[in-house]
Structure 1
């Protein structure tokens, strides 16, 4: 939602709801873990009140464990965080589950699958970042592609859902779906600032049986 038109946020939310997305993907940035600020608490609360589809929370922030309760209370059904941003990532996952929510970890381009492998038995989602987090409109980083093959092999053992976020064009959706990705976070590469309605875009992408946020 950081890519949406905030001058008419209610219409944006209603249009996306009517288009049949699966989730509103909410990027929370603190200007410290990533060099940008994004999605204030008031934005999150407002969208949560009017949206008909569930919200997630992508916490691109330092010490995310301190804020799990807050975003759970604001309605997040899935909470993603970056394991390197917290000294006790397994505890963060346990706390998210204790609140009755799904837990996800986000893997930065420079973070290896091996570095987070110990967390894979206890997470619900693994989101691979295919750009460096913090800004929209960046190019897709092809060097992350081997991570999907690694995660697909581990998914068979642990059962998590593979998500992807960053420069996800329609061509990338087809490529990544073949590599085992199930959940696609759409931004300016496919969904926003286009000359088509959200309904048309979602219908065309949905024909590929894709989960969208």
Structure 2
């Protein structure tokens, strides 16, 4: 199974962002992952609109945006106009998540949901018909550097098993995505991996070498 390697650009070196983008693409990544936080749904602030616009303009590979914000439906068109091709929302923050997912599709992007560790499969299963991607949080959203929550692993298995029934969405992992977890979860059938400091950044090695090793796991 092909792995989707998705660097979390919140972890990139913003002092040389254009070079980071070029080096990551040369290294073989698939999707740039962009985090947006509002300080309300999660106790932190993420990337700004100017950051996202810049990366979308410079990148040759597609960009996604992970909206860790309240009322994400109000901002779908904004991010689609910036050039984002995949938009994740948290159904926990949206009273009308079904409508928002359709709004993402109508804006010309692919739709995804991001699930907190405590969000069950049964609570979101009816939304899966509208999803191109399902991003499972294996840590509580908002901060890098947390430990993987082992109780989330059965949810990955359930989502992979049910994917065909609901139209064939791709299952992704976000949070504490280490080499060991990539090996474990790819064997289960997880396709996409959001890469931060656990597997990609600040390793003192080229992205080409690291991405090559991750694909070979």
Q: By how many angstroms is 1:119 displaced? A: 0.4
What is the correspondence of 1:119-134 to structure 2 with a 5 Å cutoff? 119-134=127-142
**TM-score normalised over the length of structure 2:** 0.94
2:198 maps to 1:189: yes
Match of 1:137 among 133, 145, 159: 145
Residue aligning to 1:19: 27
Structure with more contact order per residue of length (Cα contacts < 8 Å, sep ≥ 6): 2
Aligned-pair Cα RMSD in Å: 0.9
Q: Partners of 1:8 and 1:82 in 2: how far apart?
A: 31
Q: Partners of 1:51 and 1:165 in 2: how far apart?
A: 21
Match of 2:164 among 156, 167, 190: 156
Runs of at least 4 residues off by over 4 Å: none
Residue aligning to 2:115: 107
Over residues 86-108 of structure 1, what are the superposed CA-to-partner deviations in whole Å (9 max), with x where a residue is unaligned? 11000001001111211000010
Residue aligning to 1:81: 89
**TM-score normalised over the length of structure 1:** 0.95
Over residues 148-171 of structure 1, what are the superposed CA-to-partner deviations in whole Å (9 max), with x where a residue is unaligned? 121122112111110111011111
Q: Partners of 1:23 and 1:156 in 2: how far apart?
A: 23
The aligned length equals: 208
Q: Partners of 1:27 and 1:6 in 2: how far apart?
A: 14
Q: Partners of 1:47 and 1:97 in 2: how far apart?
A: 22
User: What is the SS of the residue equivalent to 1:2?
Assistant: helix
Task: Show structure 2 runs of 5+ residues with no match.
Answer: 1-8
Task: Show structure 1 runs of 5+ residues with no match.
Answer: 209-213
